[in-house]
Amino acid sequence: MTRLLLFTNDYPYSTGDASFVTKEIDDLAARFDDVVVFCHARNTDVPTLPMPGNVRLGGNLFERSADDSPWAPVHPRMLLKLLAATWLELVSGRLRGHVRLFLMGARVGITQARRRAVREAIAESPDVVAYAFWGMGGGLGLAWLTGVRARAVRLHRYDLYEELSPEGYLPFRPFLFRCSDRVLAISHDGARYLAERYRSSALDAKTVISRLGVPGPSHLSRPPAGAEKLVVSCSAVTEIKRVDLVLAALRLLPGMSEEAPVRWVHFGAGPLLDSLRREAEQTIPGLRIELCGQTANDQIPAFYAAHRVDVFVNASASEGVPVSIMEAIAYGIPVVATDVGGNPEIVGPQLGTGELVPADPEPARIAALIRRIMDAGETAYDPRATWAREYDVRHTGPRAAELVRGLASTKGGA
């Protein structure tokens, strides 16, 4: 019997990474006899999502358990692993200044791996593959597991780019990569980052591009253009996402007036939403603003299907490859986005998906490119072609599942 242990942050709770994992879970379930999910969910006040028949929740590793032991790190097998991880941090020069974070991360990872429910799930099947959907959070225990045949880890943004973390450090990366049999990067930029930062031929050989994907309509019929132009953005309202920069750009949009109005709709909440609302109270002729706050995932594609969206805007200072952009191009919506992270892999005139602005753009530059797209002809951009080629979940989900399932044939187990 082939069993998959799937380590998530929130799934199957209907928040956080649930929107990502649900796009792969059916394909994973189809390729393994059964799937046991271990999450690391802080918020359990939300409902859980329905899961395929051979998928079950094994436990929430974020919650304390009676079988958690303060002595777990000195269990003989864990102690050997801890020594190996420490040595790799030392020889790479990563440990200096980060001893506390290293030990904290190791303790969390070891506690996850030594949880009785995890060990029993491994012991119940002779052929277990472990797949961590993240390299942090629910994925911290991956490297410390014993008795599994193989391990895979997926890397996105916060669990990949160390300089973006609060102290510029993510714990035991060399040990994690040494223990992993496959590393799934969601973008070429992520794979390049791994190659340049860790300079390991062994890691290079394990790293594969496995894009996230989104569903889209089988046949697209965009609503007709109207007198009012519609601009949409979708993200958390945080410093990194810079939604206020979208507002600043729209206030400078050339050609906007009461006779040629523009409507801006933003989906997403966050700590800066109240501040953004106050800024948006300062009206400007021709600009209508709707800040929708937290919005259910399925409502956004429904909005795209029902409305003629002229431009999608992403002004983020840092990205992996945004699902929000994938969803926009699936509905044929051209994009203006910053040249950061994996954005150039999905946005650009050469791809037919839209226009890139510099990583730290002036609002006027964003405004000019929004207007360029608004004024372009119907055939100037073909965003949906890039979605169909690279980001259609009907292709990305099975590919990811095959990459993980292929590890079940690897020899041994540790």
Per-residue pLDDT of 113-156, as tens digits, reads 999 999 999 999 989 999 999 999 999 999 999 999 999 999 99
The count of structural domains within the chain is 2
Confidence of residue 402 (pLDDT cuts 50, 70, 90): very high
Determine, yes or no, domain membership for 99.
Answer: yes
Determine, yes or no, domain membership for 218.
Answer: no
Domain co-membership, 262 together with 351: yes
Domain co-membership, 405 together with 383: no
Mean pLDDT to the nearest integer, 364-381: 95
Determine, yes or no, domain membership for 36.
Answer: yes
Q: How far is CA 34 from CA 116, 128, 129, 132, 405, in A?
A: 19, 10, 11, 16, 12
Domain co-membership, 46 together with 112: yes
Distance CA 8, CA 30 (A): 18
Determine, yes or no, domain membership for 219.
Answer: no
Domain co-membership, 193 together with 77: yes
Predicted local distance difference test score (pLDDT) of residue 337: 98
Domain co-membership, 327 together with 179: no
Domain co-membership, 120 together with 263: no
pLDDT surpasses 70 at 344: yes
pLDDT surpasses 60 at 256: yes
Helical H runs in 256-314? 273-280, 299-306
Domain co-membership, 162 together with 32: yes
The rounded percent of the chain whose pLDDT value lies above 90 is 88
Phi, psi (rounded to 5 degrees) for 269: -120, 180
Per-chain mean pLDDT for the chain: 95
Taking only the tens place, the pLDDT of each residue in 174-202 is: 999 999 999 999 999 999 999 999 999 99
Q: Prior bond to 12 cis, omega within 30?
A: yes
Q: How far is CA 176 from CA 135, 188, 200, in A?
A: 8, 20, 13
Determine, yes or no, domain membership for 180.
Answer: yes
Residue type (1 letter), 238 = T
Taking only the tens place, the pLDDT of each residue in 17-42 is: 999 999 999 999 999 999 999 999 99
Q: How far is CA 143 from CA 138, 238, 281, 359, in A?
A: 12, 32, 50, 34
pLDDT surpasses 70 at 92: yes
Predicted local distance difference test score (pLDDT) of residue 413: 56
Mean pLDDT to the nearest integer, 287-294: 96
The rounded percent of the chain whose pLDDT value lies above 70 is 99
Confidence of residue 90 (pLDDT cuts 50, 70, 90): very high
Determine, yes or no, domain membership for 221.
Answer: no
Q: Considering the entire predicted model, what is its pTM?
A: 0.91
pLDDT surpasses 60 at 412: no
Domain co-membership, 280 together with 326: yes
Looking only at Cα atoms, what is the longest distance across the chain? 75
Mean pLDDT to the nearest integer, 355-366: 97
DSSP per residue, 138-188: GGTTGGG--S-SEEEEEE-STTT-GGGSTTS--TTHHHHHHH-SEEEESSH
Domain co-membership, 386 together with 397: no
The sheet that has 2-7: what strands, in order across it? 55-60, 34-39, 2-7, 127-132, 150-155, 182-185, 207-209
Determine, yes or no, domain membership for 404.
Answer: yes
Domain co-membership, 125 together with 178: yes
Domain co-membership, 366 together with 241: yes
pLDDT surpasses 90 at 75: no
Domain co-membership, 203 together with 235: no
Determine, yes or no, domain membership for 414.
Answer: no
For 127, the domain range is: 2-213+393-409
Mean pLDDT to the nearest integer, 387-400: 96
Mean pLDDT to the nearest integer, 238-256: 97
Give me the CATH number covering residue 145: 3.40.50.2000
